[in-house]
C-alpha cells in the first residue's frame, strides 16, 4: 500500500544508526515485512525493515551508509514521506515452538524487534543473540529486555558483551530460529545452526514490489524475488 507518513521523531541511537518513528496507516504490516521509502532527491526507493508497529506508529531503524540514508538522517519531525508498506512475506511466527531463538547482526536486528514483540505476546520464551562490530554500534538490548527476552550481545572486537560472532554463542540444541543479518553471518548460521529456521535476505532492489526482477535469487524452490516471495525464506530453501 502506498501512503503518506508524518515523521514523529528521528534520532541517533548508536554509531551511524538512527530510529525514525512515523505516523500513518499501519494496516496489515507484519513482522519481517519491509517498506520502501521514497527519499526526496533519490530516484529509487530505499527498502527498510519494519522495526515496530504500535497503533498508528511505524518504527524504522536504519544505518547511514550512503546518499539516501544520509538524507533521511537529516529529516526532522513534521516532514512527510511517501512510503510503500506491507511488502513481501515476513516471518511465519506460527512455526515457532515454546522456545524461540532470534539471531540478528547489525541493522539486521530491527525486524527481529517486531517479531519478538509478537512472539512474547503469544507467550513464547524468546532468546535473542545479536552481533555487532563494536560497542558504539550496539542498539536494541534494552528494548528486547523490556519485552522479557533473554539477550546475549557479542561484538567482534570484544568491546561489549562476548567477543566474537553470533554463531559462537548460539544455544544448543538450537530451537527454531528467525534470523536477519549480513551475508557472512547468514552463511555461518546455516553452517552451525542448521536449517530449522527462517532467514531474511537483503538484495539491491529496483521496485521492491515484484515488477522488475531486479532482486531474484535461486532457491530450492526455483527463482524467487527477495522483494515478493521473500525477504524471509525458509533456511532450507536458501542456496548461499
Partner 1 sequence: MKVRLGNIELANPVIPASGTCGFGQEMSEWLDLNCLGAVSTKGTTREARYGNALPRIAECPAGLLNAIGLQNPGVDAVIAHEIPALRRVYKGPIIANISGFSIEEYAYVCERIDRETDAAILEVNISCPNVQHGGMAFGTSAQAAAEVTRAVKAVTHKPVYMKLSPNVTDITAIACACVESGADGLCLINTVLGMRIDIRRRQPVLANRYGGYSGPGVFPIALRMVNQVSKACPGVPIIGCGGVSSAQEVIEMMMGGASAVEIGAANLQQPGVCRQIIEDLPRVMRELKINHLQDIIGIV
Ligand X SMILES: Cc1cc2nc3c(=O)[nH]c(=O)nc-3n(C[C@H](O)[C@H](O)[C@H](O)COP(=O)(O)OP(=O)(O)OC[C@H]3O[C@@H](n4cnc5c(N)ncnc54)[C@H](O)[C@@H]3O)c2cc1C
By CB under 6 A, name the binding residues for ligand FMN. 206, 212
CA nearest to 35, candidates 14, 71, 5: 5
Q: Sketch the per residue contact string, 153 through 192, with ligand FES: x for CB under 6 A, - otherwise.
A: ----------------------------------------
Using CB distances below 5 to 8 A depending on partner kind, what does residue 217 bind out of partner 1, ligand X, ligand FES, none?
A: partner 1
Identify which of residues 121 and 212 has a Cβ nearer to partner 1 in the complex.
212
Binding site for ligand X (CB under 6 A): 34, 44, 46-49, 61-63, 65-69, 107, 110, 202-205, 231
Using CB atoms within 10 Å of the CB of residue 41, give its burial: 0 to 12 exposed, 13 to 18 middle, 19+ buried: exposed
* Torsion, CA 28, CA 89, CA 226, CA 37, rounded to 10: 10
For partner 1, what does the binding mask look like between residues 35 and 64, x meaning CB under 8 A?
---x---xxxx-------------------
Selected from 214, 217, 234, 236, the binder of ligand FES by CB under 6 A is 214
What x/- string results for residues 171 through 210 when contact with partner 1 is judged by CB under 8 A? Answer: --------------------------------xxxxx-xx
Binding at 221: pick from ligand FMN, ligand X, partner 1, none (beta carbon under 5-8 Å per type): none
Inter-CA distances, 21 with 58, 119, 186, 193, 240, Å: 6, 22, 28, 34, 34
Of 47 and 86, nearer to ligand X (C-beta) is 47
**In a 3-state reduction of DSSP, which class is residue 197?**
strand
Residue pair 126/100 in contact by the 8 Å Cβ criterion: yes
Buried b (16+ CB within 10 A) or exposed e, 50-72: bbbbeeeebbbbbbbeeebbeeb
Q: Any idea which residue has 560497542 for its cell?
A: 135
Which spans of this chain sit near ligand FES (rule: CB under 6 A)?
A: 205-208, 210-215, 225, 227-228
Amino acid at each position: 500500500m502506498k501512503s503518506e507518513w508524518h515523521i514523529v521523531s528521528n534520532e541517533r541511537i548508536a554509531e551511524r544508526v538512527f530510529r525514525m518513528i512515523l505516523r500513518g496507516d499501519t494496516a496489515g504490516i507484519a513482522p519481517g515485512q519491509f517498506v520502501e521509502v521514497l527519499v526526496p532527491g533519490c530516484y529509487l526507493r530505499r527498502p527498510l525493515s519494519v522495526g515496530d508497529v504500535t497503533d498508528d506508529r511505524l518504527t524504522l531503524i536504519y544505518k547511514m551508509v550512503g546518499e539516501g540514508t544520509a538524507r533521511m538522517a537529516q529529516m526532522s519531525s513534521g516532514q512527510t514521506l511517501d512510503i510503500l508498506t506491507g511488502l513481501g512475506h515476513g516471518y511465519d511466527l506460527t512455526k515457532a515452538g515454546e522456545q524461540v531463538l532470534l539471531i540478528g547482526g547489525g541493522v539486521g536486528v530491527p525486524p527481529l524487534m517486531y517479531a519478538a514483540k509478537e512472539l512474547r505476546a503469544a507467550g513464547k520464551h524468546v532468546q535473542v543473540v545479536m552481533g555487532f562490530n563494536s560497542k558504539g554500534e550496539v542498539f536494541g538490548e534494552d528494548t528486547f529486555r523490556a519485552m522479557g527476552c533473554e539477550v546475549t550481545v557479542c561484538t567482534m572486537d570484544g568491546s561489549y558483551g562476548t567477543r566474537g560472532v553470533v554463531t559462537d554463542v548460539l544455544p544448543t540444541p538450537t530451537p527454531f530460529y528467525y534470523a536477519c543479518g549480513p551475508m557472512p553471518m547468514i552463511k555461518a548460521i546455516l553452517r552451525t545452526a542448521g536449517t530449522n529456521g527462517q532467514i531474511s535476505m537483503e538484495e539491491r532492489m529496483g521496485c521492491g514490489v515484484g515488477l522488475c526482477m531486479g532482486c531474484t535469487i535461486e532457491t530450492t524452490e526455483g527463482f524467487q524475488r527477495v522483494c515478493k516471495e521473500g525477504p524471509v525464506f525458509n533456511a532450507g530453501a536458501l542456496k548461499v
